[in-house]
Amino acid sequence: MAPLDDAKPVAPPDEEGTAAPAAGRFLKAIYVYEVPVRIWHWVNALAITLLSITGYLIANPLPSMPGEASANYLMGYIRFVHFAAAYIFTIGFIGRLYWAFAGNHHAKQLFRFPFWDRHWWGELFLEARWYLFLERKPKLYVGHNPLAQFAMFWAIAVGSVFMIFTGFALYSEGTGLGSWQDRLFGWVIPLFGQSMDVHTWHHLGMWAILLFVIVHVYAAVREDIMSRQSIISTMISGVRTFKDAEAPADQEHERPVKKAARVG
């Protein structure tokens, strides 16, 4: 989404626009998410899934396995998957941070929180009313709507930093004093108090991100159906399609994929 101070409502478009006439329907497709953003999204989703499953099992270990301890390495494999996924998660986040500067303005939205923008807050509460079924009709956005931007910023941008710092701080206990993990993140443990405190906060962070994922999936499916715009397929193709809709509120500076096509 473009910065909201530039996102003035757009007048109804002409014959190449999205406004639906009395007969037939019109579609408008706009390229939104670039390839690096889409790859990061799905790799990050897989990494979060693996981290959550293995993290839960690390915090709640399985019952003892039969036989000699030397013959069982199940928890070792679980920890290995957790650590491998953590590296993928961290490298992906660093790459995503880079693309916020190298990509289009939609790529910046994840890390942007316009706290002092009164208009943005007004749009956010309007979206909240829509999700609570208190508004008859939503505003349409090419990028993330303000409520989605708010949730993504705190759950993914801030949440990822928190999980990376606390996770590598705990990992540094295994790599030992003087390791690069200890030099970069070892200070986190005394900051929180002790190792168990960091474990607890790291585990709570996992549940906070999982709660966001549940709401995120629900909202994506809901918007695909109710707001007549593509959400899920957009993160596959990169193209946002508007169906039977007025012009998006943040449409300025967007590049249409093709002219509107009449269907039905």
Domain ranges of the chain: 34-62+72-244
Give the highest mean pLDDT range of 11-25, 53-67, 128-142, 147-161. 147-161
* Average pLDDT, integer, range 133-140: 90
pTM comes to: 0.83
The predicted structure's pLDDT at residue 228: 84
The CATH class given to the 34-62+72-244 domain equals mainly alpha
> Which amino acid would we find at residue 261?
A
The predicted structure's pLDDT at residue 204: 97
